C-alpha cells in the first residue's frame, strides 16, 4: 500500500457521493459503490483552538475508499484508492493506493 498525499479532482453525485476521479490528467470512473468513514486527526498539533460546537472537518477527516479504473478503458485493471475530503475547503487529496500501484505516479517538485 502506498501512503502519500496529492491533490485530486473528485466529481460527486447530487447526494455527495464521489463518482469520478481525475488525477495526473487522467479520468477514472468508479467501478463499485464507494465506502465512507471518518478518521480522527491530530487537530491540536495544527490548530491553536477548537471552536465550540465545531467538529466535522476540525476533528475528523472524511475518507472515501474508491474502486476505480481508467474511464476510457472499460477493461483497465481495477484499483482501490482512499481519498480524503476537507469539508471546510471542499478540497480532495489522494492519500492511499492499495495493492500494486498501477495508477501513473508522477514525481512532483
Q: Is the pLDDT of residue 6 over 50?
A: yes
CA distance 4 to 96: 6
Of residues 76, 66, 69, the one with CA closest to residue 98: 66
Phi and psi angles of residue 5, each rounded to the nearest 5 degrees, phi first:
-145, 130
Residue-wise pLDDT tens digits, 73-98 = 878 899 999 999 987 788 999 999 99
End-to-end Cα, the chain, rounded Å: 22
Q: How many CB atoms sit inside 10 A of residue 61's CB?
A: 19
How much of the chain, in percent, has pLDDT values that exceed 90? 50
Q: Please state the pTM of the whole predicted model.
A: 0.74
In the block, which residue shows the cell 467538529?
55
Q: Is the pLDDT of residue 101 over 60?
A: no
Report which secondary-structure segment, H or E, holds 45: helix 43-46
Amino acid at each position: 500500500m502506498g501512503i502519500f498525499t496529492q491533490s485530486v479532482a473528485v466529481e460527486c453525485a447530487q447526494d455527495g457521493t464521489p463518482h469520478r476521479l481525475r488525477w495526473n490528467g487522467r479520468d477514472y470512473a468508479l467501478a463499485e459503490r464507494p465506502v465512507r468513514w471518518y478518521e480522527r486527526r491530530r487537530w491540536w498539533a495544527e490548530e491553536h483552538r477548537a471552536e465550540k460546537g465545531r467538529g466535522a472537518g476540525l476533528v475528523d477527516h472524511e475518507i472515501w475508499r474508491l474502486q476505480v479504473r481508467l474511464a476510457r478503458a472499460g477493461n483497465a485493471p481495477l484499483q482501490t484508492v482512499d481519498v480524503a475530503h476537507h469539508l471546510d475547503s471542499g478540497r480532495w487529496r489522494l492519500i492511499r493506493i492499495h495493492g500494486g500501484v498501477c495508477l501513473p505516479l508522477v514525481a512532483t517538485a
